[in-house]
Amino acid sequence: MRQLRHRRLTAVVALATVLLTAAPPAVASAGGKPERQPGYHRVGYFTQWGIYGRAFTVKKLDASGAASRLTHLNYAFGNVSEDGRCYVDGGPGEGDAWADYQRPVPAEESVDGVADAPGQALNGNFGQLAKLKAKHPGLKVLISLGGWSWSTYFSNAARTDASRKAFVASCIDLYLKGNLPGSPGAASGVFDGVDLDWEWPNWDGEPGNVIRPEDRENFTKLLAEFRRQLDAYGRTTRAHHPLTAFLPANPATMDAGYEGRKIFKYLDFGTVQGYDFHGGWEAVANQQSALRVPAGSPDNPDFSVEVAIGGWLTRGAPRDKLVLGIPYYGRGWTGVTGGGNGLFQPAAGPAPATYEAGYEDYKQLKTLAGNGYTVHRDLRAGHAWLFDGTTFWTYDDPAVVLQKMLYIRRTGLGGAMIWSLDGDDDNATLTKTIGLGLTTW
């Protein structure tokens, strides 16, 4: 049995290597039509704050080869005001207009090698996204609204017909028309569409979020209003403006906040959370992104990719409008006792990490393998972890990512989503694995 597992693992790793070294690069889909384009969606989140500690600039998307493997780039995040409007938040520790569109980007960080001039109409990340699109014209850039920290007032924005109309109009004006504060039209053409990352309608998210029972129906109505206004705007631009949404993995959250089949009438596709199934907030080392529930799991029911995708399918979601989320980070525990390979063993708390305890980027975790840590795999369940006898990290490496790409193909899903691109290494190894794993030959 051990030899059989070894042969299977060798085959998976060998296939991943062939894909990474021998296959041609994936071509980004051309946009402009509301129907599904040939091939798979490959969606990556670019974080506003990644330019700081992680030094992950828009230029790195181009230089690493990641941009050519993507069809959609989601910029995280845009905020929602208490009175239900899209706006640029300048509050300390919250919004960062400097990073978004004010920072003069030096030549060495610029996509085209040309430095920004201080005070020009568009600088910062938005200016670099415009340059990235010029080099990759098939790439669609979406503004992602909300996220964990900025979903506080989504319920207010979605509450009434009038509030929905005003909210959507403000988002299109600010992002698609590019009417930045003090610079009308400066960002026009940077963003092609909108991604709604409301975490979560009628369900707990960050403490302090406004939650109402009617959020469930109002989310559908909000999507309908976005689709209506985006289509109206598209008649002036002669383009299709995509509308997507980030969707939960928890079946209970699906039922509380979403009207199943109805929402997909308005969405180009939905990205499904394929991670954070477990983490350092729990007292047992576990998987955070397994394809299937592992044998011996202490939780029943438990979370997995199959549970999440299956949950949406049973609620009427079209298969080809479900895009599976892939984590470019791991969840970790330390003080793990009980011996063995560490899985399902008690832990003292979240593992120390670079930016946040219990959370580490793939590019850091890949350096641990063979450096005091042993890589363990469960090929049936589709997950991997690192363990040094005390500290445990669950993460997706190229072999796991490839296995998930094969699952996407076999299941007939719409593609893969990345949270987040700044977790990859400088060679964009995981993004290339996704791009090549979903290449249509």
C-alpha closest to that of 433 among 139, 69, 132, 140: 69
The reply to whether the predicted model has a pTM over 0.75 is yes
Average pLDDT over residues 434-440: 93
CATH 3.40.50.300 fits 2-329+400-437, yes or no: no
* pLDDT tens by residue, 353-397: 999 999 999 999 999 999 999 999 999 999 999 999 999 999 999
Q: Is the pLDDT of residue 1 over 70?
A: no
**pLDDT score of 95:** 81
**304 to each of 166, 259, 416, how far by Cα in Å?**
38, 22, 16
Average pLDDT over residues 5-29: 42
pLDDT reported for residue 274: 98
Q: What pLDDT shows up at residue 347?
A: 98
Domain ranges of the chain: 2-329+400-437
In this prediction, residue 41 carries a pLDDT of 98
Arithmetic mean of pLDDT, 311-317: 98
Task: Give 408's contacts (C-beta < 8 A, 6+ positions apart).
Answer: 40, 324, 415, 416, 438
High-pLDDT (> 90) share of the chain, %: 88
> Which residue type sits at 243?
L
Per-residue confidence (pLDDT) for residue 91, from 0 to 100:
64
Using the predicted structure, report yes or no on whether residue 47 has a pLDDT greater than 60. yes
Rounded Cα distance between 340 and 387, Å, is 10
Nearest to 173 by CA among 228, 229, 130: 229
Band the pLDDT of 19: cuts 50, 70, 90. Answer: very low
Which SS3 state, helix, strand or coil, does residue 161 take? helix
* Eight-state DSSP code of residue 278: S
- DSSP letter assigned to residue 422: G
Q: Mind listing the pLDDT tens digit for each residue in 96-107?
A: 999 999 999 999
Q: State residue 38's pLDDT score.
A: 60
Catalytic site positions: 199
Check residue 92 and give its pLDDT.
Answer: 58
Q: Does the pLDDT value for residue 30 go beyond 60?
A: no
Contact 328, 419 (CB under 8 A): yes
243-260 tens-digit pLDDT: 999 999 999 999 999 999
Residue 263 confidence (pLDDT) above 80: yes
Mean pLDDT of 119-126: 95
